Chain A
Amino acid sequence: MASLWFWIVAVMVTAYAVLDGFDLGAGAIYLIAAKEPFERRKILRAIGPVWDGNEVWLLAAGGTLYFAFPRLYASSFSGFYLPLMMVLWLLILRAIGIEFGAHIEGVVWQEFFDVMFSISSILLALFFGVALGNVVRGVPLDSSGYFFEPLWTNFKLGAQTGILDWYTVLIGAVSLVTLTAHGSYYVALKTDGDLGRRARGFALLCWPVQFFLTCSSLVATFFIRPGILTNYEEHVAGMLVPIVVFASLGLMLWANPSGREKLAFAASSLYIVGMLVGAAFALYPAVLPARDRQYDLTIYNTAAGSHGLTVGFIWWTLGAALAVAYFAFLYRMFRGKVELGEGHY
């Protein structure tokens, strides 16, 4: 049962990354790709009806993590206290930037909210990667099952690590470039004219960086966590993951210049799925590895009681089916290229 919940949470986090990832990425290219005010409005219209729903995946994944692995939630959230608080503040600023800019006239105010939206999007994309890097690298858990990480120590991977070190910053960079590309593919898909063209060009520029950083992050991960391949050695099916990752990279490179916008966006989504599922597969059954591996938090020592997990599976299945149905309906209603001139924004 605990294994099942491990994969459910992994799938929810992946759904969050794919969905909110594109609106974070759209925020990241917002200031540069959209030159005219009407182009900026187009980007906002493209994400306006969906960004909040996308962000709910973060909340729902958090809630599910809390319910299925309460001890993990307690330990990781208090240990990552400072960066999580900053993530919260950035989420606040970003929502304000998206939703309230349109309500206030004036060129300067518009610029103010635009910059707030874009910078908070960039920082969030970076932070989420750093967070993933921290989990993969492991944290200074001790026998109490708790830890507290300062923002940085000496940027090396000693016993007392900080949130930021060379490895987590590298993973943060992978996340930033991946989501920037992802957002560019989305903007290209949802808009036309110069804006769509610029977004495609942006994605093309991202590609070599993304390819290079993907390879370096994989090498770096083998280097800092030599045991990371254990699961892959035991289950040959795991080898599908790197195949998916590199195939989707190839697909992006082919689909984007040839104007297949949907395919390019799908390939980018597939890439994110591959990377995150690959990381989850490598970690399993650990959910938060310790620097000293004997203190690892795993699905076995953090899961909630089995009755709760069984009951939860019933309502979770129902809730997830409803959520998927709402999303299918919502995205269908707002399908196609964005047209300005209706509703606000």
Chain B
Amino acid sequence: MDSALLVHRLHFAFTATFHYLFPQLTMGLALLIVALKTIGLRRNDPLYHESARFWGKIFGINFVLGVVTGIPMEFQFGTNWSQFSHFAGGVIGQTLAMEGMFAFFLESTFLGLFLYGEKRLTPRAHWLSAVAVFVGSWLSGYFIIATDAFMQHPTGYFLAADGTVQLSSFWAFVLNPWAGWQYAHNMSGAAITGAFVMAAVGAFYLLSGQWTEHARIFVKAGVIAGCVFSILQLYPTGDGQGRLVANLQPVTLAAMEGLFQGQPNAPLVLVGQPNEKEGKIDNPLVVPGLLSMLTYKRWNAHVQGLDAFPKQNWPGNIPLLYYSYHIMVGLGTIFIAVMLVAVFMLWRGWLFHTKWMLWILLLSAPFPYIANTAGWMTAELGRQPWLVYGLMRTETGYSKAVSAGNGMFTLLGFMGIYTVLSILFLFLLRREIEIGPVAEVNPRVSAEAR
């Protein structure tokens, strides 16, 4: 592989992966903060308002990191992928510009009001600013998904005389069928991250005997939301996304599932290592017919394997794609199990006293990040070898003017800066958790007083 191509791919992949660690929590928490504010406003309960304020602070820290790591994403379309930008900018520029105009202005303005304006605003107006932040962050998600959807399954465009793509139908582009399922699946994934993080902080407080009243709210909200969205993640959103891939990118489905030979009654591989050389799965554990069933709702349906497609159109890195997909699905299944047990214990009134379950909730927090990352890797590795599916191959999209050395220099620069950002983020997060939901009083004293 051309080394400049590899460097530019890694440059985008690294910065995008790191960036998305923050927006997924931003979008998930935005929803949960609106829920906390709504309950607080309805019941006039200060505990809920304090909880919302506490999560607002964590949201604020997380948001800043999302913003500063997000700006490089927009820039990199031009800096590292200029041929692609020239080719597709007439179409995807629409959604990227709309994200700025409709989402970022809304989000940044009302986050300022939400974080600094509680005393200046009426309770209802403060609630409204939380809603505006939520709407802004979820809109932003849609514009990015619609941009990605064009790359996965281009719609609403025509090929212009100069060889670029241009917009032919705004609505066909913005309401790309691919974007619908992908958005639902992605936002549900973000809500899972928010829910697991909130439950984990609550579990931490309960285990350490601090802030128990707030902690119960955190655990309860996190567990209920976590259960709902873990199930939605599988059905209908995951199912819908899977059928889109089956219909529109059948070669990707075959690679994700490790199906080298097309067959009726196709098996679903639960575990096993894809062996690209010999075209089979090593050490497989399979459920016969299940892949046919899941894909076409018939046990004996024929599913196309990789052998049905010319090798130059196979996704470039099949093992990585296969593992990403299986990690995502495996974790998603575990999330459902954990959250079903937790909700059951919550219903029976055991959850707040059951140490082992609180430990599980605490230790689960990193895994939605892994699942979301693996999901995006599945989507983007699965799109290969195309940059815009069927229209532009990845190797033709990067900036010819930027050498591999310059690309490597800035990639290393980003790695260094992002390492520092990670440390800073964890440090600040720990500090906010240490201070607790009510900053004025010493948490240890107040826990005893209760």
Give A contacts to B, CB under 8 Å: 48-50, 52-53, 55-56, 58-60, 62-64, 66-68, 70-71, 73-82, 84-85, 88-89, 91-93, 95-96, 99-100, 103-104, 146-148, 304-305, 307-308, 311-312, 315-316, 319-320, 322-323, 326-327, 329-330, 333-334, 342-344
Does B111 belong to the interface (CB within 8 Å)? yes
CA distance A309 to B346 in the complex (A): 54
Stretch of B23-31, B33-41, B65-73, B254-262 at the chain-chain interface: B65-73
When distances are taken between beta carbons in the complex, the residues of chain A under 8 Å from B247 are none
Known: A62-B74, A343-B118. A71 touches B89 (CB 8 A): yes
Known: A59-B104, A73-B77. A315 touches B98 (CB 8 A): yes
Q: Is there contact, CB below 8 Å, between B421 and A85?
A: no
Among candidates B67, B406, B431, residue contacting A81 with C-beta atoms closer than 8 Å: B406
CA distance A227 to B96 in the complex (A): 35
Q: Is there contact, CB below 8 Å, between B94 and A81?
A: no
Given contacts A146-B82, A334-B112, 20 further A-B contacts (CB under 8 A): A49-B115, A49-B117, A52-B112, A53-B112, A56-B100, A67-B94, A70-B90, A75-B82, A78-B402, A80-B79, A81-B399, A82-B406, A85-B410, A88-B71, A307-B168, A308-B170, A326-B106, A330-B112, A342-B116, A342-B119
Does B376 belong to the interface (CB within 8 Å)? no
Q: List 19 A-B contacts (CB under 8 A).
A: A48-B116, A50-B112, A59-B71, A59-B74, A59-B100, A63-B93, A63-B101, A64-B100, A66-B97, A70-B85, A95-B64, A96-B64, A96-B421, A103-B432, A304-B93, A305-B90, A333-B117, A343-B117, A344-B115
Write the nearest CB–CB distance from A331 to chain B, whole angstroms.
Answer: 10
When distances are taken between beta carbons in the complex, the residues of chain A under 8 Å from B413 are 85, 89
When distances are taken between beta carbons in the complex, the residues of chain B under 8 Å from A104 are 428, 431
Q: Is there contact, CB below 8 Å, between B64 and A60?
A: no
Stretch of B159-167, B188-196, B356-364, B384-392 at the chain-chain interface: B159-167
Does B42 belong to the interface (CB within 8 Å)? no
When distances are taken between beta carbons in the complex, the residues of chain A under 8 Å from B67 are 52, 55, 95
When distances are taken between beta carbons in the complex, the residues of chain A under 8 Å from B85 are 66, 70, 73-74, 77
Q: Is there contact, CB below 8 Å, between A322 and B424?
A: no
Would you call the interface of chain B mostly helix, strand, loop, or mixed? helix
Would you call the interface of chain A mostly helix, strand, loop, or mixed? helix
Known: A73-B77, A312-B97, A329-B109. A304 touches B102 (CB 8 A): no
When distances are taken between beta carbons in the complex, the residues of chain B under 8 Å from A326 are 105-106, 109-110
Q: Is there contact, CB below 8 Å, between B401 and A79?
A: yes
Write the nearest CB–CB distance from A321 to chain B, whole angstroms.
Answer: 10
Known: A74-B82, A100-B64, A343-B118. A308 touches B91 (CB 8 A): yes
Known: A78-B82, A103-B61. A70 touches B164 (CB 8 A): yes
Q: Is there contact, CB below 8 Å, between A66 and B93?
A: yes
Q: Is there contact, CB below 8 Å, between B113 and A49?
A: yes
CA distance A96 to B418 in the complex (A): 12
When distances are taken between beta carbons in the complex, the residues of chain B under 8 Å from A308 are 90-91, 93-94, 166-167, 170
Q: Is there contact, CB below 8 Å, between A304 and B90?
A: yes
